[in-house]
């Protein structure tokens, strides 16, 4: 933490706010209902969520298998799997924060189905579901969607989380994430919102100014393991968090949002506690957190802000989306 640095002079890059509102339908959007994608395939005339195989997949069953043997100490293996896209809504301009609770719950239901279906494939060892939102993280198409990479390898953060969770369980008999939740609850200053079975907080160890974790209160290794009640509650807290994000500066709030779930490689993941992480790149409305010397060069995050202050800002941001204010009611 180096919160005293946050007001240092800045003469570098800023991020412009998008101007105007995007329409509900855009003829050349590859995600809008009924449109033809780059592959020549046509989207269904969908009415809620819509899942399709990514036309330009990072992981594919057609990935090259015969790799050249690397020299010396180096090792390689074919990266196989499937990549999919999930549209949240047929409406081009809506973001996750503007969806109703039923729609967010429907999205969580889709995540459950995808994790189960893809995770059951013998070659798939892990299902990474994530949303990149906003031009600040390289997404130019505002159509609300997330991506799924189902791969024959486990992504690095998941591998680390699974390993340390397992070790903590062996050493203490406790679930690591439960100890984190207990510490957050004991302190209380970084908790954003909660209901009976789900909670959102800025972790003590937040790397980004507005980093937020959303998790069920009971340990579930994946989104698919949530009960019906927990699914509804999880959707509720998730929605309240993204509304607060948008309300913070009254603008669509950019982030990278991965679901951290147990691998599907048949291992023992009783200590793994499913959660969603938000990694928002902005420190202020037009100011990016650059990853530089300490982060890229040294491998440690230097946070210029205090997580307690940022949690307080998010708590104060309100749970009715700013675009719905004045409509009377929840919107």
Q: How far is the CB of 320 from Zn ion (least distance, A)?
A: 25
Q: Which residues pair with 106 in a beta bridge?
A: none
Of 260, 236, 249, 255, nearest to 159 by C-alpha is 260
Residue placing its CB nearer to Zn ion in the complex, 80 or 277: 277
DSSP states of 45-93: --SS-EEEE-SS-SS-TTS---PPPPPTT-------EEEEEEES-S-TT
Interface with Zn ion (CB under 5 A): 26, 29, 31-32, 92, 143, 260
When the beta carbons of 225 and 320 are compared against Zn ion, the nearer one is: 225
Least distance in angstroms from the C-beta of 5 to Zn ion: 26
- Smallest distance from the beta carbon of 67 to Zn ion, in angstroms? 30
Nearest residue to the partner Zn ion, using Cβ: 29
In DSSP terms, 258 is beta-bridged to 130
Distance CA 264, CA 226 (A): 16
Nearest to Zn ion of 190, 260 (CB atom): 260
d(CA 276, CA 173): 24
Hey, what are 251's tokens?
């603008």
Residues 6 or more apart whose Cβ sits within 8 Å of residue 53 = 82, 83, 84, 85
As measured in angstroms, the least distance from the Cβ of 205 to Zn ion is 11
Q: Is 272 exposed, middle or buried (0-12, 13-18, 19+ CB in 10 A)?
A: buried
Instruction: Specify the residue, 143 or 244, whose C-beta has the smaller distance to Zn ion.
Output: 143
Which residue's CB is nearer to Zn ion, number 110 or number 180?
A: 180
* The Cα angle at residue 106 between residues 110 and 255, in degrees rounded to 5: 80
For residue 279, the minimal CB distance to Zn ion (Å) is 10
Which one of 145, 260, 273, 279 is the catalytic residue?
Answer: 145
**Rounded least distance, CB 92 to Zn ion, Å:** 3
Catalytic: 145? yes
Residue 299 buriedness (CB in 10 A; 0-12 / 13-18 / 19+)? exposed
Distance CA 63, CA 318 (A): 46
What are the residue numbers of the active site? 145
């Amino acid at each position: 933490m180096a919160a005293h640095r946050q007001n240092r002079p800045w003469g570098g890059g800023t991020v412009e706010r998008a101007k105007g509102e995007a329409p509900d339908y855009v003829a050349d959007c590859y995600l809008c209902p009924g449109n033809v994608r780059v592959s020549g395939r046509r989207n269904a005339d969908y009415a809620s969520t819509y899942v399709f195989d990514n036309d330009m997949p990072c992981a594919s069953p057609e990935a090259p298998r015969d790799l050249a043997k690397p020299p010396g100490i180096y090792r390689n293996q074919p990266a196989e799997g499937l990549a999919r896209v999930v549209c949240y809504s047929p409406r081009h301009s809506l973001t996750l924060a503007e969806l109703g609770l039923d729609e967010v719950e429907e999205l969580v239901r889709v995540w459950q189905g995808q994790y189960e279906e893809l995770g059951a494939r013998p070659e798939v060892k892990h299902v990474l579901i994530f949303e990149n939102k906003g031009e600040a993280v390289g997404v130019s198409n505002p159509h609300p969607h997330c991506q799924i990479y189902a791969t024959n390898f486990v992504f690095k953060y998941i591998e680390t989380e699974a390993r340390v969770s397992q070790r903590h369980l062996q050493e203490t008999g406790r679930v690591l994430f439960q100890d984190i939740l207990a510490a957050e609850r004991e302190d209380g200053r970084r908790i954003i919102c909660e209901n009976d079975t789900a909670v959102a907080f800025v972790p003590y160890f937040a790397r980004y100014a507005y980093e937020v974790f959303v998790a069920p209160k009971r340990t579930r290794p994946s989104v698919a393991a949530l009960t019906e009640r927990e699914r509804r509650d999880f959707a509720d807290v998730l929605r309240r968090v993204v509304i607060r994000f948008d309300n913070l500066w009254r603008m669509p709030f950019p982030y990278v949002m991965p679901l951290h779930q147990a691998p599907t490689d048949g291992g023992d993941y009783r200590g793994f506690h499913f959660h969603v992480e938000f990694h928002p790149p902005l420190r202020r409305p037009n100011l990016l957190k650059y990853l530089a010397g300490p982060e890229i060069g040294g491998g440690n995050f230097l946070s210029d802000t205090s997580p307690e202050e940022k949690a307080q800002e998010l708590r104060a941001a309100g749970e009715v989306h700013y675009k719905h204010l004045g409509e009377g009611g929840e919107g």
